[in-house]
Amino acid sequence: MTAVLYDTPGPKARVRNASLGVVGTILVVAVVAFVVYRFVATGQFSPRKWEWIQYVEIQKTVLAALSNLLQAFAMGAVLALLLGSVLAACRLSDHRWISRPATAVVEFFRAVPLLVMIFLFYYGLPPATGITVSAFWAVVLGLTLYNGSVLAEIFRAGVASLPRGQSEAAYALGMRKTQVMSFVLLPQAIRVMLPTIVSQLVVLLKDTALGFLIGFQELLFVARTLGSQGQFNFPIIPVAIVVAILYIAMCLLLSALAKYLEQRTRRSPKRADIDPAGKADNEVTISQATD
């Protein structure tokens, strides 16, 4: 028996793979144990370095920074999804005067680094146009343009990956292109694109940390401020651990939401239950309705 891409491992290969797995696990555990040991040896878990977390004002500051982060993420995610869907629809258009400019916009904003766009909105717009942009909106606009262009390519690739027979069959039934896209292609493409969309949203969530470079008061900005406090013995590592736990929790929640949506959108084939007389339930219902 052979798999699609490689032969099924034999006894020697299974023993070799298991040995490599054991060795890799031991190495990872050893590295983690060494890091924990160094943290303990340098006093990173001492009560004084964790004393800051007991202050109510610091807790409120961290929660406020978390709220700013979530607001920037929510606004950036919604706008990026909207922009990505519009650009993807334009790229899939049959009219070149629509598809070519959309392609140029997507390729341009995918090529420009996100940090450069944030700097341009925050530092470049005021002297050039006289328009002052707050740190929040500079981050949101940068996230929208960059991730919207990436999502546009994800949407376009997801729709293009479907078999052509799907659209051809819909056109043969007399459906217009808008109907084909809305009722035939998109419902199938969304299930295919969902893992990639979630991965890009996770990237968007973590990219909000770039806002600390322009003074946007999110988690990383607060972490840098707390870590430089000498009265708590400069708790850089403890603060970083707390911030990392918050980021990991948010990413896991986002992945769980995506898994829930994937289960809701997945359609399982309906099987007709056969009654003891040998008739399906739908046949019995039809016969009863006829009677």
- The Cβ of residue 17 has, within 10 Å, a number of other Cβ atoms equal to 11
User: Can you tell me the distance from the alpha carbon of 138 to that of 72, in angstroms, rounded to the nearest whole number?
Assistant: 10
Q: Contact at 8 Å (CB) between 125 and 214?
A: no
Q: Of 116, 106, 202, 108, which Cα lies nearest the Cα of 154? A: 106
pLDDT of residue 290: 39
Q: Which residue has the higher pLDDT, 130 or 250?
A: 250
pLDDT of residue 236: 87
pLDDT of residue 276: 43
Between the ranges 124-133, 246-255, 263-272, where is the mean pLDDT highest? 246-255
Is the pLDDT score of 147 beyond 80?
A: yes
Element (H, E) at 289: helix 281-290
Q: Across the strands, what pairs with 2?
A: 7
Alpha-carbon distances of 55 from 62, 63, 64, 111, 238, rounded to whole Å: 11, 13, 14, 44, 15
Q: Contact at 8 Å (CB) between 215 and 66?
A: no
Q: Contact at 8 Å (CB) between 133 and 141?
A: yes
Where would I find the beta strands (DSSP E) of 66-179? none
Q: Across the strands, what pairs with 280?
A: 274
**In the numeric block, which tokens belong to residue 20?**
């490599």
**pLDDT one-digit tens code per residue, 180-239:** 777 777 777 777 788 888 889 999 999 999 998 998 988 888 888 888 887 778 888 889
Q: Contact at 8 Å (CB) between 173 and 139?
A: no
pLDDT of residue 183: 77
Is the pLDDT score of 150 beyond 60?
A: yes
**pLDDT one-digit tens code per residue, 88-97:** 888 888 788 8
pLDDT of residue 5: 60
Confidence bin at 282 (pLDDT 50/70/90): very low
Q: Across the strands, what pairs with 274?
A: 280
pLDDT of residue 128: 78
User: Can you tell me the distance from the alpha carbon of 216 to that of 119, in angstroms, rounded to the nearest whole number?
Assistant: 12
Alpha-carbon distances of 89 from 44, 98, 103, 178, 207, rounded to whole Å: 52, 9, 11, 10, 26
User: Can you tell me the distance from the alpha carbon of 46 to that of 101, in angstroms, rounded to the nearest whole number?
Assistant: 58
User: Can you tell me the distance from the alpha carbon of 158 to that of 151, in angstroms, rounded to the nearest whole number?
Assistant: 10
**In the numeric block, which tokens belong to residue 106?**
């997507």
Is the pLDDT score of 291 beyond 80?
A: no
**pLDDT one-digit tens code per residue, 2-47:** 445 666 777 888 888 889 999 999 999 999 999 999 988 888 888 8
